[in-house]
Amino acid sequence: MGKFDEIFDDVVVNAKAAVAVVSKKASTVYDTSKHKITAAEIRGEINKKLREIGKFTYKREVFGVDTSAEIAQAVAEVRELKENLDIINAHIDAVRNQKKCPQCEAKIPRNSLFCNICGAKLTEDESAVVEQAVEEKAEEVAEAAEAAVVAEEAVVAEEAVAPAEAAAEEAAE
């Protein structure tokens, strides 16, 4: 169990790290591929846990061993892994400017007011609000970084212009 705790912690940490990557927004393509890798890892971990649940169930049914505590533990872990997977998938959707219809789970454009597959009326859910906040923050950071670069370029340009101006003044004299 200790070993799994370590793996499980790793997965949770990975999920959180990947979320942090989004706020940096280095590049859309990079973010999406990184998230896809994390999502795949989490799915692999979920499948491993589901197999364990199967083994525990088999033990209980065939050998009459009480494995209910192990099953409950594994089910709780799967639940948490799925929550992490949902977070990652929401980020992938947001980067692609999509969201998931809560009714039919179809991928639809993010600003849709109605699902174009099942027709469900959509209200802005909490994850979309959080996502928007993350994006706004990322934009702020990007703008600040851009402003810093522009300021630096201006200084460089000024430094380049100053000797040229001095030379021109000299020539005029």
Residue 168 binds to Zn ion (criterion: CB under 5 A): no
Report in angstroms how near the CB of residue 102 gets to Zn ion at its nearest. 8
Strands 107-109 and 98-100 turn out to be antiparallel
In order, the DSSP letters of 27-48 are -HHHHHHHHHHHHHHHHHHHHH
- CA distances to 100, 106, 126, 127, 129 from 115, rounded to whole Å, are 9, 8, 17, 17, 18
Report in angstroms how near the CB of residue 127 gets to Zn ion at its nearest. 16
Report in angstroms how near the CB of residue 115 gets to Zn ion at its nearest. 3
Distance, C-alpha 72 to centroid of its chain:
28
Binders of Zn ion among 89-148, rule CB under 5 A? 101, 103-104, 106, 115, 117-118, 120
Q: Which is nearer to Zn ion, 117 or 150 (CB)?
A: 117
Which tokens go with 163? Answer: 């000797």
Report in angstroms how near the CB of residue 111 gets to Zn ion at its nearest. 15
Binders of Zn ion among 11-70, rule CB under 5 A? none
Sites of contact with Zn ion (CB under 5 A): 101, 103-104, 106, 115, 117-118, 120
